[in-house]
Amino acid sequence: MSKRYYFDHAATTPLDPEVFQAMEPFLKDKFGNPSSIYQEGQEAERAITEARERVQELINAADSREIIFTGSGTEADNLAIKGIAMALKEEGNHIITSETEHHAVLHTCEFLEKHYDFEVSYLSVDSEGFIDLADLREEIKDDTILITIMTANNEIGTIQPIEEIAEIAAENNVYFHTDAVQAAGQLDIDVQKSKVDLLSISAHKINGPKGIGALYVKKGTKLLPQMQGGAQERKRRASTENVPGIVGFGKAAQLAKKRLPEKQSKMIKLRDKIINRVLEEIDEVRLNGPRQEHRLPNNASFCFRYIEGESILLNLDMLGIAASSGSACTSGSLDPSHVMLALGLSHEVAHGSLRISLGYRTTEEEVDYLLEKLPPVIQKLRDMSPLYEG
């Protein structure tokens, strides 16, 4: 295959070679079940303990036992929300979330509404994707048991005021869960400082393997397990452990922590180059999400007027560039991205969305190539559009 330019790290990231190396023995010879008392099992058990400590360090948890490994970030979100809802259903049935959450959170909340009589408030966001803390305070009622708001948005990169939300939750004696799947490896996550109660992360967004995620659950938090079976993960998530996945996650977490300052400054520079150049060189384009420090370092999201996202993606793909869009035509459901609509964009504007997301190994040359190829693609499609009077 000729050279590819991968700009979709918010979807998934390549496995780091060091992560693969760490995993390899556990995919081959070291096959033991960590629950077994003989040597093979104990070796696997030790590897998991070490990986757990590395994930603990990535988010600065007080105790490694606060980390539950799951099959994905989605499962971590499900476990957090359903686990709290089931544990506290006698105390209340009200949950607060936002309109721009990932589907793993939104659809879990909708499920609880539909099948278990929970009541869910969906906070709206402003034109840059921020929730309003006054709205949040207003929504809290006596029977509110959980607030779940993402740390950073996967489509538009908006970083929510997590510490303030945690404070409001604590004042009102409500649990606070945050989906930090996009934020991990990009922002300094410190659960002790931010005082969140539950936090979801996923390995494959930080150059780890797919099929492994984790939920941080602060000591003392009431949570009902959602998977019944063996005693794994201190009885909070039954299933024989995905040992290679966990080991890979541990390595990826260690690398992510070590690389964070370097990665952040490099990505911010490239991100701002993309944002500035696109806004300069292409007219009738909108930047989605905020600028600067409240935006994820790796995210640039735009809406180009008069054209449609899938057409942009197909054209870019032919030029070797991989990116993503929230257009209705790419969604499978034929609805435009709920995040774009929550920003107040019309269907027509949401149609022309394009997300560029950078990774640890993205180079300036790759960015330059993208910036050279993008404007003519936009123009070509506009020339084809009945809405464009060029």
Partner 1 sequence: MYSDKVMDHFQNPRNVGKMEDPDVVGEVGNPTCGDIIRVYLKIKDDIIEDITFSTFGCGAAVATSSMVTELVKGKTLDEALEVSNEQIAEELDGLPPAKMHCSNLAADAIKNAIKNFKEGKTGLEENDNAEAETAHDHH
Residues that bind partner 1 (CB under 8 A): 306-308, 310-311, 314, 318, 327-330, 332, 334-336, 346-348, 351, 383-387
319 contacts ligand FES (rule: CB under 6 A): no
Note the helical H segments in the chain. 17-27, 39-59, 73-87, 103-116, 133-139, 162-171, 191-194, 232-235, 243-281, 309-318, 338-342, 347-351, 364-383
Identify which of residues 79 and 307 has a Cβ nearer to ligand FES in the complex: 307
**Closest distance of CB 336 from partner 1, Å:** 8
Residue of minimal Cβ distance to ligand FES:
329
Binds ligand FES by CB under 6 A, chosen from 27, 322, 329, 341: 329
Q: How far apart are CA 42 and CA 72, in angstroms?
A: 25
DSSP 160-224: P-HHHHHHHHHHTT-EEEEE-TTTTTTS---HHHHT-SEEEEEGGGGT--SS-EEEEE-TT----
Q: How far apart are CA 127 and CA 341, in angstroms?
A: 10
The partner in contact with residue 384, picked from ligand FES, partner 1, none with C-beta cut-offs of 5 to 8 angstroms by kind, is partner 1
The partner in contact with residue 7, picked from partner 1, ligand FES, none with C-beta cut-offs of 5 to 8 angstroms by kind, is none
Beta-carbon contacts of 33 under 8 Å, excluding residues fewer than 6 positions away, are: 40, 41, 44, 240
- Give the Cα-Cα-Cα angle 247, 157, 375 (nearest 5 degrees): 115
**Closest distance of CB 280 from partner 1, Å:** 25
- CA-to-CA separations, 218 to 71, 76, 104, 175, 330, in angstroms, rounded: 20, 14, 21, 10, 38
**Closest distance of CB 338 from ligand FES, Å:** 17
Identify which of residues 61 and 307 has a Cβ nearer to ligand FES in the complex: 307
| Lateral strand order in the sheet of 285-287 | 285-287, 299-304, 353-357
The partner in contact with residue 250, picked from ligand FES, partner 1, none with C-beta cut-offs of 5 to 8 angstroms by kind, is none
Q: Are the beta carbons of 182 and 151 closer than 8 angstroms? A: yes
- CA-to-CA separations, 328 to 310, 332, 341, 354, in angstroms, rounded: 9, 8, 11, 12
Identify which of residues 39 and 333 has a Cβ nearer to partner 1 in the complex: 333
**Closest distance of CB 131 from partner 1, Å:** 24
Answer yes or no: 329 catalytic.
yes
| Lateral strand order in the sheet of 94-98 | 67-70, 213-217, 198-202, 175-179, 144-148, 94-98, 119-123
The partner in contact with residue 330, picked from partner 1, ligand FES, none with C-beta cut-offs of 5 to 8 angstroms by kind, is partner 1
Identify which of residues 62 and 384 has a Cβ nearer to partner 1 in the complex: 384
Identify which of residues 184 and 328 has a Cβ nearer to ligand FES in the complex: 328
**Closest distance of CB 209 from partner 1, Å:** 26
Identify which of residues 79 and 328 has a Cβ nearer to ligand FES in the complex: 328
Q: Which of 329, 331, 373, 388 is catalytic?
A: 329
**Closest distance of CB 329 from partner 1, Å:** 3
Catalytic annotation, residues: 329
Would you tell me which residues interact with ligand FES (CB under 6 A)?
Answer: 328-329
